[in-house]
Protein backbone atom coordinates (compact mmCIF):
# COMPACT_ATOMS: atom_id res chain seq x y z
CA UNK A 1 0.00 0.00 0.00
CA UNK A 2 2.71 2.47 1.00
CA UNK A 3 4.90 1.60 -1.99
CA UNK A 4 1.94 2.21 -4.30
CA UNK A 5 1.31 5.56 -2.62
CA UNK A 6 4.93 6.65 -3.03
CA UNK A 7 4.95 5.65 -6.71
CA UNK A 8 1.71 7.54 -7.43
CA UNK A 9 3.00 10.63 -5.67
CA UNK A 10 6.14 10.56 -7.82
CA UNK A 11 3.91 10.86 -10.89
CA UNK A 12 1.62 13.48 -9.37
CA UNK A 13 4.56 15.67 -8.33
CA UNK A 14 5.54 16.43 -11.94
CA UNK A 15 3.09 19.32 -12.15
CA UNK A 16 3.52 20.37 -8.54
CA UNK A 17 6.75 22.25 -9.17
CA UNK A 18 4.99 24.48 -11.71
CA UNK A 19 1.93 25.06 -9.51
CA UNK A 20 3.58 25.89 -6.17
CA UNK A 21 5.01 29.30 -7.19
CA UNK A 22 1.61 30.36 -8.60
CA UNK A 23 -0.07 29.49 -5.33
CA UNK A 24 2.39 31.49 -3.27
CA UNK A 25 1.89 34.44 -5.63
CA UNK A 26 -1.86 34.16 -5.00
CA UNK A 27 -1.21 34.72 -1.29
CA UNK A 28 0.08 38.21 -2.18
CA UNK A 29 -1.95 39.18 -5.24
CA UNK A 30 -5.33 37.43 -5.23
CA UNK A 31 -8.37 39.76 -5.06
CA UNK A 32 -10.32 36.94 -3.37
CA UNK A 33 -10.76 36.47 0.37
CA UNK A 34 -11.99 33.80 2.77
CA UNK A 35 -15.30 34.41 4.53
CA UNK A 36 -15.14 34.80 8.31
CA UNK A 37 -18.20 32.75 9.25
CA UNK A 38 -20.21 29.85 7.86
CA UNK A 39 -21.77 26.49 8.66
CA UNK A 40 -18.68 24.72 7.24
CA UNK A 41 -15.13 25.54 8.39
CA UNK A 42 -11.72 24.34 7.17
CA UNK A 43 -9.10 23.59 9.83
CA UNK A 44 -5.38 22.78 9.69
CA UNK A 45 -2.13 23.19 11.60
CA UNK A 46 1.52 23.74 10.75
CA UNK A 47 4.76 24.47 12.56
CA UNK A 48 8.26 25.82 12.08
CA UNK A 49 9.66 25.65 8.56
CA UNK A 50 6.47 23.94 7.35
CA UNK A 51 4.66 27.27 7.46
CA UNK A 52 5.85 27.90 3.89
CA UNK A 53 4.21 24.62 2.81
CA UNK A 54 1.02 25.66 4.56
CA UNK A 55 0.97 28.88 2.53
CA UNK A 56 0.72 26.83 -0.67
CA UNK A 57 -1.95 24.55 0.79
CA UNK A 58 -4.10 27.45 1.99
CA UNK A 59 -3.59 29.39 -1.23
CA UNK A 60 -4.92 26.41 -3.20
CA UNK A 61 -8.17 26.79 -1.23
CA UNK A 62 -8.23 30.54 -1.94
CA UNK A 63 -8.35 29.73 -5.66
CA UNK A 64 -11.09 27.13 -5.23
CA UNK A 65 -14.60 27.19 -6.67
CA UNK A 66 -16.14 27.46 -3.19
CA UNK A 67 -14.56 29.53 -0.40
CA UNK A 68 -14.99 28.71 3.29
CA UNK A 69 -13.66 30.14 6.56
CA UNK A 70 -10.17 28.74 7.22
CA UNK A 71 -8.63 28.31 10.69
CA UNK A 72 -4.86 27.81 10.93
CA UNK A 73 -3.71 26.63 14.36
CA UNK A 74 -0.18 27.33 15.58
CA UNK A 75 1.57 26.31 18.77
CA UNK A 76 2.41 29.30 20.96
CA UNK A 77 6.05 29.53 19.87
CA UNK A 78 5.13 29.83 16.20
CA UNK A 79 2.14 32.06 16.94
CA UNK A 80 4.28 34.58 18.80
CA UNK A 81 7.20 34.52 16.32
CA UNK A 82 7.51 36.63 13.16
CA UNK A 83 5.28 35.24 10.43
CA UNK A 84 6.46 34.96 6.81
CA UNK A 85 5.22 37.68 4.48
CA UNK A 86 3.17 35.19 2.46
CA UNK A 87 1.30 34.07 5.58
CA UNK A 88 0.55 37.69 6.46
CA UNK A 89 -0.79 38.09 2.91
CA UNK A 90 -3.25 35.26 3.53
CA UNK A 91 -4.33 36.86 6.81
CA UNK A 92 -5.10 40.00 4.79
CA UNK A 93 -7.34 37.75 2.68
CA UNK A 94 -9.32 36.39 5.59
CA UNK A 95 -7.23 33.52 6.95
CA UNK A 96 -7.87 33.18 10.69
CA UNK A 97 -4.69 32.24 12.59
CA UNK A 98 -5.33 30.87 16.08
CA UNK A 99 -3.01 30.02 18.97
CA UNK A 100 -3.32 26.46 20.28
CA UNK A 101 -3.80 26.18 24.04
CA UNK A 102 -1.65 23.07 24.22
CA UNK A 103 1.05 21.02 22.47
CA UNK A 104 -1.21 18.50 20.76
CA UNK A 105 0.97 17.54 17.79
CA UNK A 106 -1.06 16.42 14.76
CA UNK A 107 -4.29 16.70 16.76
CA UNK A 108 -3.84 20.48 16.66
CA UNK A 109 -5.22 20.24 13.12
CA UNK A 110 -8.77 19.79 14.43
CA UNK A 111 -8.78 20.13 18.23
CA UNK A 112 -9.32 23.88 18.62
CA UNK A 113 -11.82 24.16 15.78
CA UNK A 114 -13.86 21.20 17.06
CA UNK A 115 -13.93 22.80 20.52
CA UNK A 116 -15.06 26.16 19.07
CA UNK A 117 -17.69 24.62 16.78
CA UNK A 118 -19.18 22.10 19.21
CA UNK A 119 -22.90 22.68 19.63
CA UNK A 120 -23.15 25.08 16.69
CA UNK A 121 -24.22 22.58 13.98
CA UNK A 122 -20.99 23.26 12.06
CA UNK A 123 -19.34 20.79 9.71
CA UNK A 124 -15.52 20.82 9.83
CA UNK A 125 -13.15 19.95 6.98
CA UNK A 126 -9.57 19.10 7.92
CA UNK A 127 -6.65 19.36 5.51
CA UNK A 128 -2.89 18.79 5.68
CA UNK A 129 -0.37 21.60 5.50
CA UNK A 130 1.80 20.11 2.75
CA UNK A 131 -0.72 19.30 0.03
CA UNK A 132 -1.99 21.38 -2.90
CA UNK A 133 -5.71 20.90 -3.31
CA UNK A 134 -7.58 21.14 -6.63
CA UNK A 135 -10.04 23.96 -7.36
CA UNK A 136 -13.00 21.61 -6.91
CA UNK A 137 -11.76 20.19 -3.58
CA UNK A 138 -14.38 21.83 -1.31
CA UNK A 139 -17.22 21.67 -3.83
CA UNK A 140 -17.09 17.93 -4.48
CA UNK A 141 -16.37 17.07 -0.85
CA UNK A 142 -19.46 18.95 0.30
CA UNK A 143 -21.59 17.45 -2.49
CA UNK A 144 -20.73 14.00 -1.14
CA UNK A 145 -21.33 15.14 2.44
CA UNK A 146 -24.78 16.43 1.52
CA UNK A 147 -25.58 13.08 -0.08
CA UNK A 148 -24.60 11.29 3.18
CA UNK A 149 -25.04 13.97 5.87
CA UNK A 150 -24.32 11.63 8.78
CA UNK A 151 -21.13 10.15 7.34
CA UNK A 152 -17.51 11.15 7.60
CA UNK A 153 -16.52 11.92 4.00
CA UNK A 154 -12.99 11.62 2.64
CA UNK A 155 -11.21 11.67 -0.69
CA UNK A 156 -9.02 8.78 0.47
CA UNK A 157 -9.80 5.84 2.76
CA UNK A 158 -8.48 2.39 3.58
CA UNK A 159 -10.45 -0.81 4.16
CA UNK A 160 -9.67 -2.19 7.62
CA UNK A 161 -8.69 -5.85 7.30
CA UNK A 162 -9.33 -8.33 10.12
CA UNK A 163 -8.00 -11.86 10.49
CA UNK A 164 -8.84 -14.30 13.25
CA UNK A 165 -10.90 -11.71 15.08
CA UNK A 166 -8.07 -9.18 15.19
CA UNK A 167 -7.14 -6.07 13.21
CA UNK A 168 -4.40 -6.78 10.67
CA UNK A 169 -1.28 -4.63 10.40
CA UNK A 170 -1.95 -1.26 8.79
CA UNK A 171 0.23 -1.93 5.78
CA UNK A 172 -2.00 -4.90 4.89
CA UNK A 173 -5.18 -2.85 4.70
CA UNK A 174 -6.63 -2.27 1.23
CA UNK A 175 -7.70 0.77 -0.72
CA UNK A 176 -11.40 1.53 -0.68
CA UNK A 177 -13.05 1.10 -4.08
CA UNK A 178 -16.60 2.23 -3.39
CA UNK A 179 -18.61 5.25 -2.28
CA UNK A 180 -20.68 3.13 0.12
CA UNK A 181 -20.33 4.21 3.77
CA UNK A 182 -18.94 1.63 6.20
CA UNK A 183 -17.43 1.28 9.66
CA UNK A 184 -14.74 -0.78 7.94
CA UNK A 185 -13.52 2.32 6.11
CA UNK A 186 -10.71 4.35 7.68
CA UNK A 187 -10.40 7.92 6.41
CA UNK A 188 -6.91 9.34 5.87
CA UNK A 189 -6.50 13.04 6.47
CA UNK A 190 -3.89 13.69 3.80
CA UNK A 191 -6.45 14.27 1.03
CA UNK A 192 -9.00 16.06 3.21
CA UNK A 193 -11.89 14.87 5.39
CA UNK A 194 -15.30 16.40 6.20
CA UNK A 195 -16.76 15.67 9.65
CA UNK A 196 -20.52 16.08 10.33
CA UNK A 197 -21.62 18.31 13.22
CA UNK A 198 -22.59 15.40 15.50
CA UNK A 199 -19.12 13.92 15.07
CA UNK A 200 -17.56 17.30 15.90
CA UNK A 201 -19.65 17.43 19.08
CA UNK A 202 -18.68 13.87 20.10
CA UNK A 203 -14.94 14.35 19.61
CA UNK A 204 -14.99 17.71 21.40
CA UNK A 205 -16.75 16.11 24.39
CA UNK A 206 -13.78 13.75 24.88
CA UNK A 207 -11.31 16.59 25.36
CA UNK A 208 -7.68 15.45 25.40
CA UNK A 209 -8.38 11.75 25.93
CA UNK A 210 -6.45 11.09 22.70
CA UNK A 211 -3.21 11.80 24.58
CA UNK A 212 -3.62 8.46 26.38
CA UNK A 213 -4.17 6.41 23.23
CA UNK A 214 -2.93 7.93 19.96
CA UNK A 215 -0.98 11.11 20.72
CA UNK A 216 0.87 11.01 17.39
CA UNK A 217 -1.88 9.64 15.14
CA UNK A 218 -4.90 11.91 14.71
CA UNK A 219 -6.32 9.69 11.95
CA UNK A 220 -6.38 6.72 14.33
CA UNK A 221 -8.19 8.65 17.06
CA UNK A 222 -10.73 10.28 14.74
CA UNK A 223 -11.62 7.01 13.03
CA UNK A 224 -12.04 5.26 16.37
CA UNK A 225 -14.31 8.13 17.43
CA UNK A 226 -16.32 7.76 14.21
CA UNK A 227 -16.78 4.05 14.92
CA UNK A 228 -17.87 4.63 18.53
CA UNK A 229 -20.26 7.46 17.70
CA UNK A 230 -21.94 5.59 14.84
CA UNK A 231 -20.57 7.66 11.94
CA UNK A 232 -19.59 5.55 8.95
CA UNK A 233 -16.89 6.64 6.51
CA UNK A 234 -17.40 7.04 2.76
CA UNK A 235 -15.22 8.16 -0.10
CA UNK A 236 -16.15 10.99 -2.44
CA UNK A 237 -15.37 8.84 -5.48
CA UNK A 238 -15.31 5.05 -5.92
CA UNK A 239 -11.51 5.28 -6.07
CA UNK A 240 -9.17 7.17 -3.70
CA UNK A 241 -7.85 10.54 -4.81
CA UNK A 242 -4.37 11.80 -4.00
CA UNK A 243 -3.31 15.37 -4.57
CA UNK A 244 0.05 17.03 -5.20
CA UNK A 245 2.59 17.35 -2.42
CA UNK A 246 4.08 20.80 -1.90
CA UNK A 247 7.66 20.49 -3.28
CA UNK A 248 10.25 20.36 -0.52
CA UNK A 249 7.91 19.01 2.15
CA UNK A 250 8.69 15.89 4.21
CA UNK A 251 5.74 13.79 3.07
CA UNK A 252 7.86 11.15 1.29
CA UNK A 253 10.08 10.78 4.35
CA UNK A 254 6.95 10.13 6.41
CA UNK A 255 5.79 7.49 3.94
CA UNK A 256 9.16 5.73 4.19
CA UNK A 257 9.04 5.90 8.00
CA UNK A 258 5.56 4.38 8.09
CA UNK A 259 6.61 1.57 5.77
CA UNK A 260 9.79 0.78 7.66
CA UNK A 261 8.57 1.30 11.22
CA UNK A 262 5.08 -0.18 11.14
CA UNK A 263 3.33 3.17 10.91
CA UNK A 264 0.22 3.45 13.06
CA UNK A 265 0.10 -0.12 14.39
CA UNK A 266 1.10 0.63 17.98
CA UNK A 267 -1.40 3.45 18.31
CA UNK A 268 -4.15 1.43 16.65
CA UNK A 269 -3.54 -1.31 19.23
CA UNK A 270 -3.62 1.27 22.04
CA UNK A 271 -6.86 2.84 20.78
CA UNK A 272 -9.11 0.08 19.41
CA UNK A 273 -10.44 -2.06 22.25
CA UNK A 274 -12.41 -5.35 22.18
CA UNK A 275 -15.74 -3.54 21.77
CA UNK A 276 -14.37 -1.62 18.77
CA UNK A 277 -13.07 -4.79 17.13
CA UNK A 278 -16.39 -6.54 17.75
CA UNK A 279 -18.21 -3.70 16.02
CA UNK A 280 -15.86 -3.96 13.02
CA UNK A 281 -16.38 -7.72 12.82
CA UNK A 282 -20.16 -7.28 12.87
CA UNK A 283 -20.15 -4.73 10.03
CA UNK A 284 -21.36 -6.17 6.69
CA UNK A 285 -19.13 -5.91 3.67
CA UNK A 286 -19.47 -2.48 1.97
CA UNK A 287 -21.62 -2.46 -1.16
CA UNK A 288 -20.54 -1.61 -4.67
CA UNK A 289 -20.05 1.99 -5.82
CA UNK A 290 -23.12 4.13 -6.08
pLDDT tens digits for range 1-17: 545 555 555 545 545 55
pLDDT tens digits for range 153-183: 999 999 999 999 999 999 999 999 999 999 9
Residue 34 has pLDDT above 80, yes or no: yes
Collapsing DSSP to helix, strand or coil, 261 comes out as helix
CATH class label, 2-282: alpha beta
Query: Got the DSSP string for 144-175?
Result: HHHHSTTSEEES-EEE--EETTEEPPGGG-EE
Q: Tell me which of 103 and 127 has the higher pLDDT.
A: 127
Q: Tell me which of 249 and 71 has the higher pLDDT.
A: 71
Domain positions in the chain: 2-282
Cβ atoms < 10 Å from Cβ of 11: 9
pLDDT tens digits for range 104-117: 999 999 999 999 99
pLDDT tens digits for range 195-235: 999 999 999 999 999 999 999 999 999 999 999 999 999 99
Angle, helices 51-62 vs 85-92, to 10°: value is: 30
Local structure of residue 50 (DSSP, 8 states): G
Amino acid sequence: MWLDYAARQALISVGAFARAPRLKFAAHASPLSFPQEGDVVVSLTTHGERISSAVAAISSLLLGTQLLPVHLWLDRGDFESEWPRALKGLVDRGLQVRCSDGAFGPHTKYFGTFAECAGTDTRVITIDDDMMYPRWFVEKLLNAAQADPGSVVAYRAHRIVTTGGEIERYRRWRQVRTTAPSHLHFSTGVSGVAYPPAMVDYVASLGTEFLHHAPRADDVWLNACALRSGHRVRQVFPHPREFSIVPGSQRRALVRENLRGGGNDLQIAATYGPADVAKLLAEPEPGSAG
